[in-house]
């Protein structure tokens, strides 16, 4: 399937699929899609974040006063911050501000950053759906930036009795409500991702453009083919691992976002894929032997973009016989390695999917976000899994608080 932004291909060989199960999913698919379309257009539903009638909980004019800051520090965990990181690193070439992400407990990183920052020129954006995320709140307090009426802090959390909401009220901090019906991993196209993106200087309408493309155009056939086959693989438990072979460094943070989306949404009731990020061609020299000659329990997602500008290789000065490299570009070398891998996967009948990005733009990233959200939700529904909850994660949060009491 090819469109303006992405070229895609599924190569899942028939020996990995069960015709009877595929037929059952094909029959169920129309009902699932009907429910998906309903949720897209219904407020208070998670998928409404992709709908045309979705309204952001802030006004752009209210954020203009924060554009003066030269640096931005974003604090959050998981889905509260992974989307912003994906946006920043994918589109970094057009972002003029310095943006720092605190997405883990890392005392050394925070100490170095505190010495480096000029607080008067730095904006802090703190994001937590619950408003009680221990790591986020602890990291925020460690910066010692809170004062009454502080003008360089934005809080994004649910409007309820929580640590962050209470603090924003008490200290009169700028507050934006996090919609309570959108979980972190689905929130990148809501306030959670769009506030940081706007303050980075990006075009929000472009990041929210054509979010329903895969339901309304020729691409819907690719969506059906993908979701029914992936649901089959999960149902049969023939594939345990998704390996993201990434030939585009600026896409790596998006893949971490995708990793959480797939793992938390579908890793339930004994089912699930383990998504692994493999940066290539570097990993050709450490993991490729296992990928091609180890257990056939992996599905490969190959991501590629022909980067510009490019560099040419000049071998004229060398006596050794390496003419095959002369006047070739680094991109051509990388593309040859990618195509060589695909040839080997086909020869060994190892299933894979290929995603070739045509452009590095807000629209391309919007399409990636929306496609993988739709695909993941549909697979969950086909398998009667709730893609929106994460009960095992909540149990660990409860246990952590008990141990700290």
| CATH superfamily of the 60-207 domain | Glucose-6-phosphate isomerase like protein; domain 1 (3.40.50.10490)
**Are 6-36+210-391 and 60-207 in the same CATH fold?**
yes
Provide mean pLDDT across the span 305-316. Answer: 80
Return the H-helix or E-strand segment holding 163: helix 163-171
How distant, in Å, are the alpha carbons of 111, 115, 190, 321 from that of 88? 23, 23, 16, 42
The answer to whether 97 and 71 have CB atoms below 8 angstroms apart is yes
pLDDT digits (tens, 9 = 90+) for 141-165: 999 998 766 899 999 999 988 999 9
Q: Does 319 score more than 80 pLDDT? A: no
Indicate yes or no: pTM above 0.75.
yes
For residue range 193-220, list pLDDT tens digits in order. 999 999 999 999 999 988 888 898 788 9
56 contacts 194 by C-beta, under 8 angstroms: yes
For 199, half-sphere exposure in the C-beta direction (CA atoms, 13 angstrom radius) is 30
Q: Tokens for 393?
A: 């994660």
Q: Pick from 305, 301, 287, 330: which is nearest to 248 by CA?
A: 305
pLDDT-derived band at 349, boundaries 50, 70, 90: very high
DSSP classification of residue 88: H
Q: What is the pLDDT of residue 213?
A: 85
Which residues are bridge partners to 303 per DSSP? 246, 355
**Domain 6-36+210-391, CATH number (from 3.40.50.2000, 3.40.50.10490, 3.30.70.580, 2.20.25.90):** 3.40.50.10490
For the stretch 120-130, pLDDT in tens is 999 999 999 99
pLDDT in tens, 60-100: 999 999 999 999 999 999 999 999 999 999 999 999 999 99
For the chain, which residues make up each domain, given as ranges? 6-36+210-391, 60-207
Parallel, antiparallel, or unpaired for β 241-246 and 274-279? parallel
For position 318, what pLDDT does the model report?
Answer: 65
Residue 116 parent element (H or E): helix 107-116
Gyration radius from the chain CA atoms? 23
């Amino acid at each position: 399937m090819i469109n303006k932004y992405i070229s895609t291909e599924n190569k899942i060989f028939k020996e990995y699929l069960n015709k009877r199960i595929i037929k059952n999913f094909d029959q169920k698919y129309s009902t699932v899609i009907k429910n998906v379309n309903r949720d897209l257009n219904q407020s208070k539903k998670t998928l409404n974040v992709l709908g045309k009638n979705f309204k952001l909980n802030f006004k752009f004019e209210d954020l203009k006063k924060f554009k003066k800051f030269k640096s931005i520090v974003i604090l959050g965990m998981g889905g509260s911050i992974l989307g912003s990181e994906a946006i920043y690193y994918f589109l970094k070439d057009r972002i003029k501000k310095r943006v720092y992400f605190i997405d883990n407990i890392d005392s050394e990183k925070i100490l170095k950053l505190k010495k480096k920052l000029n607080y008067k020129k730095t904006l802090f954006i703190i994001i937590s759906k619950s408003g009680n995320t221990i790591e986020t709140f602890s990291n925020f307090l460690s910066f010692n930036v809170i004062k009454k009426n502080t003008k360089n802090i934005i809080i994004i959390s649910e409007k309820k009795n929580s640590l962050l909401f209470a603090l924003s009220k008490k200290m009169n901090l700028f507050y934006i409500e996090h919609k309570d019906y959108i979980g972190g991993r689905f929130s990148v196209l809501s306030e959670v991702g769009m506030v940081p993106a706007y303050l980075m200087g990006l075009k929000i309408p472009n990041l929210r453009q054509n979010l329903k493309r895969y339901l309304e155009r020729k691409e819907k056939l690719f969506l059906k083919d993908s979701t029914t086959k992936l649901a089959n693989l999960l149902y049969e438990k023939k594939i345990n691992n998704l390996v993201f072979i990434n030939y585009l460094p600026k896409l790596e943070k998006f893949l971490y976002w995708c990793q959480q989306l797939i793992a938390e949404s579908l890793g339930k009731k004994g089912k699930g894929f383990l998504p692994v990020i493999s940066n290539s061609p570097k990993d050709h020299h450490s993991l490729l032997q296992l990928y091609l000659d180890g257990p056939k329990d992996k599905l490969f997602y190959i991501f590629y973009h022909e980067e510009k500008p490019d560099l040419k290789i000049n071998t004229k000065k060398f006596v050794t016989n390496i003419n095959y490299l002369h006047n070739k570009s680094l991109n051509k070398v990388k593309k040859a390695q990618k195509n060589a891998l695909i040839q080997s996967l086909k020869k060994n009948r190892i299933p894979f999917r290929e995603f070739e990005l045509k452009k590095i733009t807000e629209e391309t990233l919007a399409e990636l976000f929306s496609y993988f959200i739709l695909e993941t939700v549909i697979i969950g529904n086909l398998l009667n899994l709730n893609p929106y909850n994460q009960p095992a994660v909540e149990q660990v949060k409860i246990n952590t608080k008990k141990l700290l009491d």
